[in-house]
Structure 1
Amino acid sequence: MSFETRGLKALIASMALAIGLSSAGLAQPSSASRLAPSQPGTDVYILSFGLWGPQSVFESEAKGAARVLEASLKSKGRTIVGFNSKRSAGATPQTIRNAIQTVGRVIDPDDVLVFFLTSHGSTDGAAIVTRDDHNVITPDNVQHLLQESRARYRVVIVSACYSGVFARKLADERTLVITAASADRSSFGCRDGATWTYFGDAFFNKAMRGERRLDIAFEKARLLVTRREQREGFDPSNPQIAGGSEVLARLSERETAPSQQPCRVPRANAQSAAC
């Protein structure tokens, strides 16, 4: 997002350049019982994190995106949301990794992981800012986390300035990457107290409420964002989508697959079993 005060890039550059991903000193992963277990077919697990604590819009967007994704992708009980605020730190390197480990304990090879980050960004990555600490989550960090999750099919969505750097590094046939901006552009709408950023409003709050296909929702959102930026006199953020052909096919098959009916035990006098 475009930050209204000067020096954001200098601030981010002064932060640690990578998240510590070793297991030393980290809290134990959350219990796998927090997430519903995988069932036959393709399930979707959602991790949504608002990383920049000083502005409430990122907490709001992380929560709102999780709600929309959960409803659209039918993933009730398979969502973890974390956020930093002016008073709390729920989206730190440690808690993000713990959430990844929790998913890794229950996910099956046919399942899909959706990993969403919203924050301010730079060409290094997305900032993680709490009251007591500053970090950056880089594309290399996210790649490591995705590997640790054991998810074969992944969707990475990043709502931040310069977030196209994640697409460059991560996109492939099994990893769909959607970003609010290209690698050399700012995105907008990070006002404290706002409910959504411009991209979050267009993609989650508008496009995805009526469209379950992520690629089609993205195209609708890109048009909405472009029109809004033109009206308000901003340089275009140029949202990006890359990779993910196998992910989109798997999600599409999931939509058209017949729902599985539970097998019911027949009563003693019943003529035939229910299945």
Structure 2
Amino acid sequence: MTIAPSVSPVQAVENAGKLGVVSFGLFGDQGVFRSEATGAAEVVAGRFETGPVTVQYNSRKGGSATIEALARSLLAAANRLDAEKDVLFLILTSHGSPDGLAIKAGRLTQTLTPSRLADMLAKTGVRHKVVVISACYSGVFVPRLANPDVLVITAADANHSSFGCEDKARWTYFGDAFFNTALRQTVSLKDAFLDARSLVRKRELREHFEPSNPLMGGGANVLPLLVERP
């Protein structure tokens, strides 16, 4: 786990840009992913100075949250951001496997791999990015994506499941801990992650699940740009 050093409030305000938020609920057979993608975007938009906000999700009947639509949405958001000063904030919620993220829109099925997502993000031209992935095995994305300009937060490491994917739930365990609880209360993504990781572990142990081990990597150059609304 790599966590950037703290930044003074004065320095942070001077460096602050705005966020472009793209949030996708990728697996349509369970409503929790639609709910989480929508709710997470609302929390982020409420905490930080945001520019464009795009939310898409799938359902059992179909939907527009495909690999191709994600690529288009990232480019569209990037076109409305300052490539050096602003931050592209991507939220993905779905089922996951060691191969990547599952996409299910009606009869359409796809797998979003770490390499494919890395290529999409690179094509945006936006230097600073945050990627939050709520899915089993989502730690597989950290080695491919994380660097000083890209902060990656995942609900699990590369070898474990995450929990809370019930159809009628509003949040997964990680989404509830990170977006719905910690990010509403803390002043930084780093603190929100540390709080959420603790909350998730306590819940998993209480329910006798093997810990999912959420991860945070990269982002040393990104965290100074993430300044909450006054």
Report the TM-score when normalising by structure 1. 0.75
Q: 1:220 to 1:98 in 2, by over 3 A?
A: same
Question: In structure 2, what is the equivalent of residue 182 of structure 1?
Answer: 157
Question: In structure 1, what is the equivalent of residue 24 of structure 2?
Answer: 49
Alpha-carbon distance in structure 1 between the residues aligned to 2:197 and 2:75? 33
Alpha-carbon distance in structure 1 between the residues aligned to 2:16 and 2:182? 26
Question: In structure 2, what is the equivalent of residue 243 of structure 1?
Answer: 218
Give the residue type in structure 2 aligned to 1:64.
Answer: G
Question: In structure 1, what is the equivalent of residue 62 of structure 2?
Answer: 88
Alpha-carbon distance in structure 2 between the residues aligned to 1:130 and 1:224? 31
Deviation at 1:255, TM superposition (A): 5.1
Structure showing greater relative contact order (alpha-carbon pairs closer than 8 Å, 6 or more residues apart): 2
For 1:179-235, what per-residue CA distance to the aligned partner results, in whole angstroms no more than 9, with x for missing partners? 000000000000001000000000000001111310100000000000000110000
Alpha-carbon distance in structure 2 between the residues aligned to 1:97 and 1:210? 32
Q: Is the 8 A contact 1:107 1:150 kept in 2?
A: no
Unaligned residue ranges in structure 1 (runs of 5+): 1-39, 260-275
Report the TM-score when normalising by structure 2. 0.90
Give the residue type in structure 1 aligned to 2:75.
Answer: Q
Larger fraction in strand: 2
Question: In structure 2, what is the equivalent of residue 149 of structure 1?
Answer: 124
Q: How many residues align?
A: 215
Q: 1:237 to 1:104 in 2, by over 3 A?
A: same
Alpha-carbon distance in structure 1 between the residues aligned to 2:187 and 2:86? 17
Give the residue type in structure 1 aligned to 2:225.
Answer: R
Counterpart of 2:197 (choices 222, 228, 231) is 222
Question: In structure 1, what is the equivalent of residue 76 of structure 2?
Answer: 102
Counterpart of 1:169 (choices 108, 124, 144) is 144
Deviation at 1:150, TM superposition (A): 1.4
Q: Is the 8 A contact 1:84 1:90 kept in 2?
A: yes
Q: Is the 8 A contact 2:146 2:152 kept in 1?
A: yes
Alpha-carbon distance in structure 2 between the residues aligned to 1:126 and 1:211? 28
Between structure 1 and structure 2, the one with the greater Rg is 1
Q: Is the 8 A contact 2:98 2:158 kept in 1?
A: yes
Q: Is the 8 A contact 1:83 1:90 kept in 2?
A: yes
For 1:122-180, what per-residue CA distance to the aligned partner results, in whole angstroms no more than 9, with x for missing partners? 00111111112110111111111111211100001100000001111111000000000
Question: In structure 1, what is the equivalent of residue 44 of structure 2?
Answer: 69
Deviation at 1:41, TM superposition (A): 5.5
> Higher mean Cα deviation, 86-95 or 201-210?
86-95
Give the residue type in structure 2 aligned to 1:82.
Answer: Q
Give the residue type in structure 1 aligned to 2:77.
Answer: V
Q: Is the 8 A contact 2:26 2:66 kept in 1?
A: yes
Alpha-carbon distance in structure 1 between the residues aligned to 2:26 and 2:88? 19
Percent identity between matched residues is 46
Q: RMSD between aligned alpha carbons?
A: 1.6
Q: Is the 8 A contact 1:46 1:80 kept in 2?
A: yes
Alpha-carbon distance in structure 2 between the residues aligned to 1:119 and 1:255? 27
